[in-house]
Structure 1
Amino acid sequence: MPLPTPAESLRLACRTNTHTTSTSLLTPTIQANLLVLPSRHAASFRALCARNPVSCPLLWTTPPGAPTTPLAPTADLRTDLPKYNIYLDGILQTPEGVLDIKNEWSPDHVGFLIGCSFSFETALERAGLPPRHTLCTPPRTVPMFRTTVPLCPAGVFTGGVMVVSMRSYPPGRVEEVRDITRRFGRQHGEPVAWGWEGAETLGVAEKMREGRVDFGEWVEVGEGEVPVFWGCGVTPQVAVMESGIGGVVLSHFPGCMFVSDVLAEDEAELESVVKALDVVEEVGSGGAD
């Protein structure tokens, strides 16, 4: 029997509750955000992703009740992430997170996997540009901020705003960082803003001066560096909270991602999986908002 891959081993550790923290830089494979909705909201959420592809790059949609994905055929989306969030009627019920969602995921629930910027962190590290949060002892979860930039609304999802993750770099290397991350279009791609002027444009400069994050953990901007911001897959969770939709909604806990079997550098393989969505039976069409 072949030995498990690093991604499989990490998912097994999550399943057995022996890994319950951030997945940043732990594997060279694609990582993904998870959002699980009642099927009646699935069509609206697919439209939200289509209208906001930088913040919500959709990788896979499950059939109702099926916690599986071709991105990792042996995985169970209910158990194989380090921690999860549970929302009821748009209100977060689990501020500290829970270790699985087996009891909450019903036959009516539809799961969505959304690209994550953790996927390109290995490439940054290989280029001598490791994200500062990964160098902390112990490593921290990347800082994330709610911006004042509105999302394009879709169906019940109105009033949401973009969430961004922040990593800091010397100004002279920002172009290199942009070039590296641009290749990962399904993982938020290149930065949406950088520098303190960018922080002002996003409406997060005051939070940063106070060392205050909305998600993740604060990490100082390095001396001689500037903040660099990427779209973030926590954006859909904020959209859920802003919408106040009814029922039980499930998600990953910020920083605790789903780790797939597809190499992050292999966007061609990822594109073939994403295109398979076109032949998957349309979800939520009978009860679209």
Structure 2
Amino acid sequence: MPSSPAPQPQPLTPQDLRLSCRNGTHSTTTSLTTPTVQCNLLVLPSRYAPSFAQLCARNPVSCPLLYTTLPGSKTTPLASGANLATDLPKYNVYKDGKLLPEGDGIASVEEYWTEDHVGFLIGCSFTFEWALAAAGFPPKHMLCEPVRCVPMFRTVIPLFPAGEFTGGFLVVSMRAYKEGDVAEVRRITRAFGRQHGEPVAWGWDGAKLLGIEGKVREGLVDFGEWVGIDGDVGEVPVFWGCGVTPQVAVMESGIEGVAISHVPGCMFVTDVPVEEESSLKL
């Protein structure tokens, strides 16, 4: 008799994924098998929380704020039983606006997160990649072997300032699509307004407008990993606002004290289904 096919592994639940991050056995949230909302994380001393909330309100495309913790709290109703200080794959730690060498890509920030810290969860474009893939437009970085982190670039577009945050610039993530598919890709992602929404620019003219044409043509990413653009089949770069933007704002601001963030590509995975992202309450 022919042998039965081997059983396929069941997709991890969001709780399983967070526990894997907590245990140090999951290193990225790129191309996950569980279609739930992913978030960027930024944690600041409480005295900067009002200014940062205002920064998000003034720059909603790059900084779509989903949830703000109480001072000292590491929990969120978006993920049952989660600990924001342990349940992301990797964290960055900043002191006085500068990345600490020993805080680059660490697995837990329990020792840095004090009773005075406030956590902010910001929408992530990884969330809408499910919709793109389901519609037949999977981002190329998801198809790489091994999977790569989406390319990200710091642009020359300044943020609208708020309080202490006066020197930030828009960061964008890039995905390559055939020029004839850009309109449909824009339509699909437009529905995810809490996850950066539709692209802010596309094509080589868009790259020039953002001040990053040279970097994109040469594959010189500021964050993430390069994924090529195949001009022979009509591909062009397409750019979305990116939740790494607040990290750049923190580094440019020179604020005092300890700040914490996710490492690009290492997001916080919530329990909220992708199709319910628009119903999230602040």
TM-score by length of 2: 0.93
- TM alignment of 1:169-180, pairs within 5 A: 169-180=177-188
- TM alignment of 1:224-239, pairs within 5 A: 224-239=234-249
- Aligned-pair CA distance for 1:25: 3.7
Between the aligned partners of 2:182 and 2:48, the Cα distance in structure 1 is: 39
- Aligned-pair CA distance for 1:96: 4.1
Q: Secondary structure of the residue that 1:44 maps to in structure 2?
A: helix
- Aligned-pair CA distance for 1:26: 3.6
Partner amino acid, structure 2, of 1:11: R
Is the contact between residue 38 and residue 270 of structure 2 (CA under 8 Å) also seen in structure 1? yes
Matched, 1:134 2:134: no
Between the aligned partners of 1:114 and 1:24, the Cα distance in structure 2 is: 19
Partner amino acid, structure 1, of 2:252: E
Q: Deviations over 1:27-85 (max 9, x none)?
A: 21000000000000000000000000000000000000000111112111000000000
Q: Name which of 250, 254, 273 aligns with 1:263.
A: 273
Is the contact between residue 97 and residue 250 of structure 2 (CA under 8 Å) also seen in structure 1? yes
Q: Which residue of 2 aligns with 1:221?
A: 229
Q: Which residue of 1 aligns with 2:215?
A: 207
Structure 2: unaligned runs, 5 residues or longer: 1-9
Q: Tell me how large the CA RMSD over aligned residues is.
A: 1.4
Structure 1: unaligned runs, 5 residues or longer: 275-289
Between the aligned partners of 2:70 and 2:104, the Cα distance in structure 1 is: 29
* Number of aligned positions between the proteins: 270
Once the two structures are overlaid, the 10-residue window that deviates more, 3-12 or 70-79, is: 3-12
Partner amino acid, structure 2, of 1:187: Q
Once the two structures are overlaid, the 10-residue window that deviates more, 87-96 or 199-208, is: 87-96
Q: Secondary structure of the residue that 1:17 maps to in structure 2?
A: coil
Q: Which residue of 2 aligns with 1:283?
A: none
Matched, 1:156 2:156: no
Between the aligned partners of 2:139 and 2:195, the Cα distance in structure 1 is: 16
Matched, 1:123 2:131: yes
Matched, 1:15 2:22: yes
Q: Which residue of 2 aligns with 1:50?
A: 57
Matched, 1:62 2:69: yes
Partner amino acid, structure 1, of 2:239: F
Is the contact between residue 30 and residue 142 of structure 2 (CA under 8 Å) also seen in structure 1? no
- Aligned-pair CA distance for 1:159: 1.2
Q: Which residue of 1 aligns with 2:96?
A: 89
Q: Which residue of 2 aligns with 1:285?
A: none
Matched, 1:34 2:23: no
Q: Deviations over 1:235-257 (max 9, x none)?
A: 00000000000000000000100
Partner amino acid, structure 1, of 2:276: D
Q: Secondary structure of the residue that 1:97 maps to in structure 2?
A: strand
* Residues 96, 268 of structure 1: alpha-carbon distance in 2 compared, 3 angstrom cutoff: closer
Q: Which residue of 1 aligns with 2:119?
A: 111
Between the aligned partners of 1:5 and 1:197, the Cα distance in structure 2 is: 41
Q: Secondary structure of the residue that 2:186 maps to in structure 1?
A: helix
Between the aligned partners of 2:106 and 2:49, the Cα distance in structure 1 is: 23
Runs of 4+ in structure 1 deviating by more than 2 angstroms, as ranges, are 21-27
Is the contact between residue 93 and residue 104 of structure 2 (CA under 8 Å) also seen in structure 1? no
Q: Which residue of 2 aligns with 1:281?
A: none
- Aligned-pair CA distance for 1:24: 3.4
Q: Which residue of 1 aligns with 2:251?
A: 241
Is the contact between residue 24 and residue 255 of structure 1 (CA under 8 Å) also seen in structure 2? no
Q: Which residue of 2 aligns with 1:145?
A: 153
* Residues 4, 74 of structure 1: alpha-carbon distance in 2 compared, 3 angstrom cutoff: farther
% identical aligned pairs:
67
Is the contact between residue 37 and residue 277 of structure 2 (CA under 8 Å) also seen in structure 1? no
TM-score by length of 1: 0.91
Matched, 1:79 2:86: yes
Is the contact between residue 201 and residue 207 of structure 2 (CA under 8 Å) also seen in structure 1? yes
Once the two structures are overlaid, the 10-residue window that deviates more, 30-39 or 205-214, is: 205-214
